[in-house]
Amino acid sequence: MTDSLPDDILGYRFKNQGLLRLALTHPSLSGRENYQRLEFLGDRVLGIVIAEWLYAKFPDDKEGRLNRRLSALVRGETVAEVVRTSGLDRFILMTPGAEQEGTRTKVNVLGDIGEAVIGAIYLDAGLDTARTWILEQWASLLETDARTTKDAKTTLQEWAQARGSILPAYTVLDRSGPDHAPVFTVEVTLENHGSASASGVSKRIAEQQAAHNLLTQLSDGGPA
């Protein structure tokens, strides 16, 4: 572990540095308070901020679609992606044993850390500041998941079912990059209707983008 923490965290400077240290402290450090209570708080703050953003962004969406969008953007894997791509994972405080077990790269730990940092910012500066920080860190995911792909996997599945086709099949073609910043390449195949591939920082994002690419091909006059 390391006790060296940044002066600011992805553009936010804490007034109370103790909150930042707490948010980055893994439970393996017995005898110290850890991030778990902040994680509980941050999860709720993240949920309300993203829900508010979706409510304003998609005024025509019904509750079910809003819920699907929300689930995709606040799930643990998504929070872990934000932590990995930002480099926040390198500041997690843990025991050498936890380090050797690969704890720093575990999706559930990275997700917990991301939520704990949000909770810490909320306590340090309030909801408006937490909202600004979340929307900045989630910007690319908001665009990719909530606008461009528009739950493309579900749309592609519905497209196939409407035509009596076998459901789409997803295959991981490649995984590259270091453990803390992997890149997945996924191909989606729809029998008798073609295939498409895409890359992303998680299998979920790559699958969504691949589905979006195949839908685009089909709408442009590909096999139908």
Catalytic residue ranges: 43, 115
**What is the layout of strands, in order, in the sheet containing 194-200?**
169-176, 183-190, 194-200
What residues pair up with 183 in beta bridges, in sequence order?
Answer: 176
Residue owning tokens 């007034």: 15
- Between the CA of residue 205 and those of 150, 160, 184, what are the distances in Å? 12, 20, 9
User: Would you say 166 and 191 are in contact if contact means Cβ atoms under 8 Å apart?
Assistant: yes
Token pair recorded at residue 25: 């402290």
What residues pair up with 162 in beta bridges, in sequence order?
Answer: none
Radius of gyration of the chain (CA): 19
Nearest to 200 by CA among 157, 148, 156: 148
SS3 28: coil
Distance from the Cα of residue 167 to its chain's centroid: 25
